[in-house]
Structure 1
Amino acid sequence: MSDVIAIMSMSLDGFVAAPDGDVMGVFAWYFGSGDVEIRGGGADPMTFTVSERSAQHLRALTSELGALVTGRRTFEAAQGWGGNHGWGPAFVLAHEIPDGWPRPDSTVHFVSDGVESAVVQAKAAAGGKSVGLHGADTIQQCLNAGLVDYLHVDIAAILLGSGVRLFDHLDDMPATLGNPTVVEGVGVTHLRYPVLKA
């Protein structure tokens, strides 16, 4: 059975983006925190340069993923990943399909009937692998719906002071988490918590 893993970089004070939406502060560790190159997959791959521990961590994480659920803002910011995300088919929560989509030979799909439907579709497409969740709003919706099995948070060595919080708008708090696995990188600490079901 596929696990659902919320994956996000976050500042130490809990923000995933600055007030103007800029995410480079929390993702800076991907670009220059070490000398190990990691090439992302998909149609528009990026090359990251991270520490050896972060590289091992990223390889292990991405090898277990078979699909992605995310929101429209993330899709727009990533320019649709060139039509194919490196983690596998992407299911984008959207009220309307953007102009120019769907595209031939693209593995990006748009879901307008809710997060539960998007997760079901992603699990079916993941081929037995896990489903990654990305984007603060998408992660919040999935936490509220009880769909998240693991929280995977990369804590960047930065304090933003304000901006977009990862864990806003949550219902039925507190949520109980299991013991974390911790990987210390350079400029980042990788945390992974199981979400304990009631």
Structure 2
Amino acid sequence: MSTVTANMSMSLDGFVNHPTDGVDTLFRWYSRGEVVTGTDGDHDWEFKTDASEAQDLQGAKDSIGAIVYGRRSFDAAEGWHGTHPLGVPVVVLTHSAPRDWEYAGRSVHFVTEGGIAAAIARGRELGGGRTVVIGSADLTQQALNEGLLDELTVDLVAAMLGAGTRFFDNLKGAPYELEQTSVRPGNGVTHLAYRVVKP
């Protein structure tokens, strides 16, 4: 069965976005280096990181089978215009799918029933055995609370936002025990990886 992991860039004070700045401050580490990693799909975006971060990004591109987001992320990204920059299927967990969406039938799929478990199951189906990544704070919290998360990676950014959405609110089953599997410094960011220890 494929691994389920969550990944987000997070400020030192625990936020994954800011009410006015959005994710601009948190995503600056993607453009601070000299090594270019291109994206897939219909996008011409590129990352500019240091060499080790570029290697990690390429590894992620090769290992990710599907990404699970919530409706707010979908709306903020304008549905990635039907194709995520990594070129992998996206599952959007939402109470209602958008009607007459101009990019229907492409690589974005909507799950409206069954909650986070159904969204992860759909991601596994679409991902062909590769890793399913959760890219939403709220859905990460739900997956933790339901015992569905295997791994957690945090790109800890050297910034404090003071307000916004916290990555780790609403943890009903806390305390959660984590096994640290990796720590690597980057350019203005520290990359942390953990395995979720399940009872």
Whether these two folds match at TM > 0.5 is yes
1:25 aligns with 2:43: no
1:15 maps to which residue? Answer: 15
CA distance in 1, matches of 2:168, 2:102: 31
Q: How does 1:174-185 map to 2 (within 5 A)?
A: 174-185=175-186
1:162 aligns with 2:163: yes
The DSSP-based 3-state class of the residue aligned with 1:195 is: strand
1:73 maps to which residue? Answer: 72
Q: How does 1:1-198 map to 2 (within 5 A)?
A: 1-20=1-20, 22-31=22-31, 33-85=32-84, 86-101=86-101, 103-113=103-113, 114-198=115-199
CA distance in 2, matches of 1:104, 1:19: 30
Deviation at 1:66, TM superposition (A): 0.5
Question: CA, structure 1 residues 171+102, in 2 after alignment: closer, same or farther (shift >3 Å)?
Answer: farther
> 1:10-60 CA distances to partner (integer Å, 9 max, x unpaired)?
0011110113361111111112x1011111222234211111121111112
Retained in 2: the 8 A contact 1:6–1:151?
yes
Retained in 1: the 8 A contact 2:65–2:131?
yes
CA distance in 1, matches of 2:183, 2:101: 39
TM-score under structure 1 length normalisation: 0.94
Q: Is there any run of 5+ residues in structure 1 with no aligned partner, and where?
A: none
Aligned-residue Cα RMSD (Å) equals: 1.5
> 1:70-108 CA distances to partner (integer Å, 9 max, x unpaired)?
101111111111212225111101111123337354110
Q: Is there any run of 5+ residues in structure 2 with no aligned partner, and where?
A: none
Identity of aligned residues (%): 43
CA distance in 1, matches of 2:144, 2:166: 14
**Residue-pair matches, total:** 197
